[in-house]
Structure 1
Amino acid sequence: MLVTGPRGTKDILPEASGNWQYIEQVIRDICRLYLYKEIRTPVFEHTELFLRGIGETTDIVEKEMYTFTDRGERSLTLRPENTAAVVRSYLENKLYADTLLNKLFYIGPMFRYDRPQAGRYRQFHQFGVEALGSKGPAIDAEIIMLAVQLLRKLGLDDLTLYLNSVGCPQCRPIYREKLQDFLREKTSHLCSDCQSRFERNPMRVLDCKKEKCTEETQGAPHIVDCLCDECSTHFNHLKSLLTLAEVDFKLNPRLVRGLDYYTKTAFEIQYAPLGAQSAVCGGGRYDGLVAECGGQPTPGIGFAIGIERILLALEKQKLLPVFSNTIDVFVAPMGIDMQGIAFKLLCNLRENGITAEMDFMEKGIKWQMKQANKYSAKFVAIIGEEEAAQDKIMLKNMLTGVQELINIDEVQQKIELDVEA
Structure 2
Amino acid sequence: MNMRAPRGTQDILPGTSEKWQYVEQQLIELSRRYNYKEIRTPIFEHTELFQRSVGDSTDIVQKEMYTFTDRGDRSITLRPEGTASVVRSFVQNKLFGQPNQPTKLFYIGPMFRYERPQQGRMRQFVQFGVEALGSNDPSVDAEVMALAMNAYQGLGLTSLKLVLNSLGDHESREAHKDALVRHFEPHKNELCSDCQLRLEQNPLRVLDCKKDKDHPAMESAPSILDYLNGESRKYFEDVKNHLQAMGIDYVIDANLVRGLDYYNHTAFEIMSDADGFGAITTLSGGGRYNGLVEEVGGPETSGIGFAMSLERLLMALEAEGIELPIEESLDCYVVALGEEAEQEAVRLTYNLRNAGIQADKDYQGKKMKGQFKAADRLNAKYVVVLGERELEQNAATVKNMVSGDQFELPLEEITGYVKQELDGRE
Q: Same fold (TM over 0.5)?
A: yes
Match of 1:59?
Answer: 59
Following superposition, the deviation at residue 399 of structure 1 comes to: 3.4
| 1:30 corresponding residue in structure 2 | 30
Flag the 1:225–1:294 CA change in 2: closer, same or farther, 3 A.
Answer: same
Between the aligned residues of both structures, percent identity stands at 48
Find the residue that maps to 1:255 and give its secondary structure.
coil
Aligned residue number for residue 261 of structure 1: 262
Distance 1:399 1:300, change over 3 A: closer
SS of structure 2 residue aligned to 1:404: strand
Q: Which residue of 2 aligns with 1:323?
A: 326
TM-score by length of 2: 0.95
Shift, 1:356, TM fit? 1.8
Alpha carbons of structure 1 residues 24 and 333: separation in structure 2 relative to 1, 3 Å: same
Tell me by how many angstroms 1:417 deviates.
5.6
Structure 1: how far apart are the matches of 2:402 and 2:248?
49
* Structure 2: distance between partners of 1:320 and 1:153: 13
Deviates more, 1:187-196 or 1:322-331: 322-331
Q: Following TM superposition, by how much is the alpha carbon of 1:239 offset from its aligned partner in structure 2, in angstroms?
A: 1.3
Trace 1:322-401 onto structure 2 (pairs within 5 A). 322-401=325-404
Q: CA deviation at 1:166?
A: 1.1
User: How far off its partner does 1:320 sit?
Assistant: 3.1
Query: 1:224, 1:287 → 2: CA distance?
Result: 19
Distance change (3 Å), C-alpha of 1:413 and 1:52? closer
Pairing of 1:151-166 with structure 2 (within 5 A): 151-166=152-167
CA–CA separation in structure 1 for the residues paired with 2:41 and 2:351: 39
Shift of residue 37 of structure 1? 0.5
Q: Distance in 2 between matches of 1:417 and 1:25?
A: 26
Name the counterpart of 2:198.
197
Alignment partner for residue 285 of structure 1, among 251, 270, 288? 288
For this pair of structures, how many residues does the alignment match? 421
Letter in 2 for 1:313: A
The code of the aligned residue for 1:45 comes to E
Gaps (5+ residues) in structure 1? none
Label 1:2 to 1:54 Cα distance change in 2 as closer, same or farther (>3 A).
Answer: closer
Aligned-residue offset at 1:267: 0.7
SS at match of 1:254: coil
Per-residue deviation, residues 15-34 of structure 1 (Å, max 9, x unmatched): 11111111111111111111
Is the contact between residue 355 and residue 419 of structure 2 (CA under 8 Å) also seen in structure 1? no
Give the CA deviation at 1:338.
2.3
- Equivalent-residue separation in structure 1 for 2:268 and 2:181 (angstroms): 24
Does the C-alpha gap of structure 1 residues 408 and 283 become closer, same or farther in structure 2, counting only changes over 3 Å? same
Letter aligned with residue 47 of structure 2: T
CA distance in 2, matches of 1:253, 1:414: 64
Show the counterpart of 2:95.
95
Change (3 A) 1:74 1:21: same
The answer to whether the Cα contact below 8 Å between 1:58 and 1:258 also exists between their aligned partners in 2 is yes
Alignment of 1:286-301 (within 5 A): 286-301=289-304
Structure 1 length-normalised TM: 0.96
The 1:414–1:227 alpha-carbon spacing in structure 2 relative to 1, beyond 3 Å, is: closer
Aligned mates of 1:411, 1:4 — CA distance in 2: 46
Give the match's secondary structure for 1:119.
coil
Whichever residue aligns with residue 124 of structure 2, its letter is Q
Shift of 1:212: 5.6
Moved more, 148-157 or 113-122: 148-157
C-alpha displacement of 1:2: 5.6
SS at match of 2:206: helix
